[in-house]
Amino acid sequence: MINPCDLHDPIAQIFAGENIDLDAFIATHGPDKTQRAKNIASDPYAAAKFFHFIINVIFETLFQVKVTSHRVQSKMGILGYISAYFGTVESQGRGTLHLHLLIWLKHAPSFDEIRVLLQSEEFRAQIVAYIRANLRAYLPGLESAESVKQIPRDKGIAFNRPPKPDTPNYDQNMRAFELQLARTEQVHTCKLR
Do 84 and 2 share a structural domain? yes
The chain-wide mean pLDDT, for the chain, equals 87
Give 55-69 pLDDT, tens digit per residue: 999 999 999 999 888
Q: In this model, does residue 141 exceed pLDDT 90?
A: no
Region 99-121: mean pLDDT is 93
Predicted confidence band of residue 81 (pLDDT cuts 50, 70, 90): very high
> Whole-angstrom Cα distance, residue 9 to residue 89?
19
Which residue range(s) make up the domain with 143?
Answer: 139-185
Do 96 and 28 share a structural domain? yes
Nearest in space to 153 (alpha carbons), one of 122, 185, 129:
185
Do 125 and 66 share a structural domain? no
41 domain residue, yes or no: yes
* Strand segments (E) across 4-159: 65-67, 72-74, 82-91, 97-105
Do 165 and 122 share a structural domain? no
Q: Please answer whether residues 61 and 87 qualify as being in contact, where contact means their C-beta atoms are separated by less than 8 angstroms.
A: no
- Structural domains in the chain (count): 3
Do 90 and 5 share a structural domain? yes
Q: Which residue has the higher pLDDT, 59 or 159?
A: 59
Nearest in space to 82 (alpha carbons), one of 94, 68, 67:
67
Q: In 10 A of CB 124, how many CB atoms?
A: 12
pLDDT of 190: 67
